[in-house]
């Protein structure tokens, strides 16, 4: 994507962490696809979630031009990371080139993709099952991270994915773990969000758990908290969440 090693910094763990957090904490992204009628690149906005391995997931309507484009040509990219105050180019953002694939309701992955997406975007329940709405999973191929002026990095698709062997097992227990934490340990989510992600006080709940961390929502906000280490086994989830809570309480 960027053939200019002289201006790129060496990708290190901090850059990978920033890149992953930008993608995983995005509620929506700018999506670039190839417009099938004009051949032009087309920029539009789409709601975003993530698959259990961190791959971006979009839910789109067949009435929008980007859906027709993605069905015809799965080459796409997303821009994640919204500017705050001040110069928009001083705020971190990431462009990720991806291969998009439609996930039909018949595929096994559909159920956890749908469940995770709705936990993150509850209002999408109104239209998620309409026949003209589809999920697309975007497998990252390469990415360009811009952490602010002079802080450019080239990343691989693998840099953005969770490769833990525990992914599938975590997906299988995610729904009950999220319900349990929100119902029986409701004090945990606000502590995770405010202490570990330094988010403002709000009605935080956990909306997703994967092998590298958890996603928390409150109203329009979404924040990400990472585990100190990726889970090697889903059996470690309970102790990891407990350790994270102790860590939050000590801050």
Nearest to residue 213, comparing CAs of 237, 249, 195? Answer: 237
The DSSP output letter for 130 is: S
CB of 92 to a copy of itself, least distance (A): 10
Q: Does 5 bind a copy of itself (CB under 8 A)?
A: no
Which of 60, 52, 103, 53 shows the shortest CA–CA distance to 78? 60
209 interacts with a copy of itself by CB under 8 A? no
Member of 9, 27, 101, 110 binding a copy of itself (CB under 8 A) = 27
148 lines the binding site for a copy of itself (CB under 8 A): no
Distances (CA, A) of 183 to 176, 215, 221, 236, 242: 10, 16, 20, 20, 15
Nearer to a copy of itself, 88 or 186 (CB): 88
If you ran DSSP here, which 8-state letter would residue 234 be given?
G
Q: Does 42 bind a copy of itself (CB under 8 A)?
A: yes
Residue partners of 229: CB distance under 8 A and separation at least 6: none
Residue 40 sits in the site that holds a copy of itself (CB under 8 A): yes
Restricted to residues 99-138, the positions that interact with a copy of itself (CB under 8 A) are 123
Please pick, from the candidates 1, 17, 203, 232, the single residue that binds a copy of itself as defined by CB under 8 A: 1
Residue labelled with tokens 């997406």: 117
Query: Measured from the CB atom, is 151 or 195 closer to a copy of itself?
Result: 151
What residues between 151 and 190 interact with a copy of itself by CB under 8 A?
A: 152
The dihedral sign for the CA sequence 66, 72, 73, 74: positive
- Is 198 a binding residue for a copy of itself by CB under 8 A? The answer is no
Phi, psi of 149, rounded to the nearest 5 degrees: -50, 125
Q: How far is CA 139 from CA 19, 183, 193, in A?
A: 15, 33, 28
Q: Is 72 in the site for a copy of itself (CB under 8 A)?
A: no
User: Judged by CB under 8 A, which of 12, 13, 86, 246 binds a copy of itself?
Assistant: 86
Residue 139 sits in the site that holds a copy of itself (CB under 8 A): no
Q: Which residues bind a copy of itself (CB under 8 A)?
A: 1-4, 7, 27-35, 37-45, 47, 63-65, 68, 75-79, 82-83, 85-89, 93, 95, 97, 123, 141-142, 144, 152, 219-220
């Amino acid at each position: 994507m960027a053939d200019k090693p002289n201006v790129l910094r060496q990708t290190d763990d901090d850059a990978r962490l920033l890149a992953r957090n930008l993608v995983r904490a995005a509620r929506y992204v700018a999506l670039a696809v190839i417009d099938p009628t004009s051949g032009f690149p087309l920029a539009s906005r789409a709601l975003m979630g993530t698959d259990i391995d961190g791959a971006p997931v979009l839910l789109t309507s067949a009435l929008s031009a980007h859906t027709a484009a993605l069905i015809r040509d799965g080459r796409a990219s997303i821009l994640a990371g919204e500017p705050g105050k001040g110069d928009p180019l001083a705020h971190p953002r990431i462009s990720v080139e991806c291969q998009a694939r439609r996930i039909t309701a018949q595929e096994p992955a559909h159920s956890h993709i749908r469940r995770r997406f709705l936990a993150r975007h509850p209002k999408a329940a109104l239209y998620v099952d309409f026949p003209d709405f589809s999920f697309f999973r975007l497998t990252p191929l390469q990415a360009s991270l811009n952490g602010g002026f002079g802080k450019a990095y080239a990343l691989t698709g693998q840099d953005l994915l969770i490769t833990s062997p525990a992914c599938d097992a975590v997906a299988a227990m995610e729904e009950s773990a999220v319900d349990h934490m929100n119902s029986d340990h409701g004090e945990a989510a606000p502590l995770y969000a405010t202490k570990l992600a330094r988010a403002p006080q709000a009605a935080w709940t956990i909306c997703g758990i994967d092998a590298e961390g958890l996603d928390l929502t409150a109203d329009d906000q979404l924040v990400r908290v990472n585990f100190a280490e990726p889970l090697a086994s889903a059996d470690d989830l309970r102790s990891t969440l407990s350790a994270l809570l102790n860590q939050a309480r000590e801050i």
